[in-house]
Structure 1
């Protein structure tokens, strides 16, 4: 019932009415399953007019989402909800690119990812990202930055500042950088230990000088609480507090989110998961990312695809 009430807040318009009428073949004022299937076939086709194949079960699932009262038909009011929440999103996307943590410390500083197992060079993301920013007209551009206080919980140097939980796999005495410990809390939380990096207002936290900064773009700061880390640009690692990114996307009516940056298998992968869960059509820009561990990078790609993100190279946009 809540969803029906929500859809009634939208206003009917000529384009929506014309679309409904065009697919209501029997002129009974409803779209049955076959008529709704024709809507989907009109939406899902390539530039040559070839319809993408969709399983009947998938079509049925979509139909049932918009058949709000589950009577087997989509009436005009239900189609209004479908029009605003789905069809307009497909035919009139609002796109944003999110460039994650292209900061000095990850490229040539204290957490230089070229020293990690994958031996990726973070500076390699800058050229394809800059090319995209020059050639693609995104509706919004966001840059995220790790923005840690000097006493941040993730820093190996700060391990002694907080009590360890009895379940911690390593102790104060034998802990090393890149180990995972469990802090007592509250809340009890596991934390990977990193070298001190991206400390607020230091050179290491700055975006790399060669990265193009677009006019009217927005910077999102994460990991700026001492007591909890934030890999995702959406949330802290315990999903207790959202960053400002969530409200920024909503204010700009973003539908499609293009994601890239450093590190592929940490902050980029976690952000992609949250983007999908938040309902954004999510595009992972493979050649605009560099990471830490090759196996984990491949897992990130597979998980993204399995969760219905799209993984492409920048030259495919």
Structure 2
């Protein structure tokens, strides 16, 4: 379950269109999953990805940082805030791990495996290997950012990856969701509907 948090739901600071529609299929799948991992965006106040930190800059623009171009966002998922909380109704009682990412003030983190500087690891790959897990079934938000980066890094780490297409939603700026899906397919990410897993 990737970043299914209040700020990414309708009415949130960085709402993903129809983001709340992922909750029901995710909950249904979680009841069958042998192991559940939840990620949570968890930014300190004044995080480098917040447009408010950069005078004269607006959300959805870009700036150059030492690790590359950084998208600027509205303040979102601030540590301890209501917006950072996991979505009401999201069933996480079976989660073996809740992984918080984006905690470094000067580095963003879309992927559940590597931060945006592409060097700092979250420890997720080692955690999964310790448990003998080889196949990841990805759900959550947003298809064209955190899901995309997580899927690509999981493939690079050697995991099989399945994207549950009715349990993800994207921001979809200028066709970014279709580009993300194509990129994931080229990396060997399988796509499936949750009902196929239920069956």
* Category of TM-score, reference length = shorter chain: over 0.9
Task: Identify the structure with the greater strand proportion.
Answer: 2
Structure 1 residue aligned with 2:77 = 198
Preserved CA contact (<8 Å) 1:301 1:311:
no
Cα drift, residue 189 of structure 1 = 2.9
TM-score for the superposition, normalised by structure 1: 0.59
Rounded to whole Å, the distance in 1 between the matches of 2:95 and 2:4 is 18
Structure 2 residue aligned with 1:177 = 59
Cα drift, residue 145 of structure 1 = 0.4
1:261-312 CA-to-partner distances (Å, cap 9, x unmatched) read 1011000011101111110011011100011116211112122222111011
Larger radius of gyration: 1
Structure 2 residue aligned with 1:300 = 180
Aligned length: 195
Does residue 309 of structure 1 match 2:192?
Answer: no
Cα drift, residue 217 of structure 1 = 2.3
Structure 1 residue aligned with 2:42 = 147
Preserved CA contact (<8 Å) 1:291 1:297:
yes
Structure 1 residue aligned with 2:12 = 109
Rounded to whole Å, the distance in 2 between the matches of 1:216 and 1:157 is 34
Rounded to whole Å, the distance in 1 between the matches of 2:37 and 2:95 is 9
TM-score for the superposition, normalised by structure 2: 0.93
Gaps of 5+ in 2: none
- Three-state SS of the structure 2 residue aligned to 1:217 is strand
Rounded to whole Å, the distance in 2 between the matches of 1:112 and 1:293 is 12
Higher-RCO chain (CA-CA 8 Å, sequence separation at least 6):
2
Gaps of 5+ in 1: 1-98, 114-119, 161-172
1:315 to 1:188, Cα distance in 2 relative to 1, 3 A: closer
1:218-248 CA-to-partner distances (Å, cap 9, x unmatched) read 1011100000000101011121210021221
Preserved CA contact (<8 Å) 2:38 2:95:
no
1:8-48 CA-to-partner distances (Å, cap 9, x unmatched) read xxxxxxxxxxxxxxxxxxxxxxxxxxxxxxxxxxxxxxxxx
